[in-house]
Amino acid sequence: MTVSQITYIVPFVAAAFAALMGLVALVQPARAARWYGIATTDLGLVRSHWGGAPLLSSLFCLYWQAPSAFFGVGMVWLGLAVTRLAQFRSQPINWRRAGVEWLMTMGLLVGLVAG
């Protein structure tokens, strides 16, 4: 497999994984809230912000298949990852969650970085 093929496939895998994570947040919001470290009892908020938004934006990427779509969603994941690292003074960094956010960022942006 060539680098060109890898940089073409990896954003699709990352978008599919983000869609799966969003689907889990829609179906099991309490479990998703615990995993993300969200201290809220409003499960509707978890469903909309961590369920619906990632699910539909990832499905849009998979449907549209445009580099700009993957770039847009990748930049959102980058914002989440940077924000998680920036809050180190108020709470300790959960490296598992931060790692997933950085992995999603790099997975969605790999086509632009390597291409």
- For residue 27, the number of C-alpha atoms closer than 13 Å in the C-beta half-sphere is 7
* Structural domain count of the chain: 1
Q: Report pLDDT digits (tens) over 48-61.
A: 888 999 999 999 99
Domain that holds residue 103: 3-114
Neighbours of 47 (CB within 10 A): 20
Rounded CA separation 78/43 (Å)? 24
pTM to 2 decimal places: 0.87
Between residues 36 and 80, which one has the greater pLDDT?
80
Q: Report pLDDT digits (tens) over 26-45.
A: 999 999 888 887 777 888 88
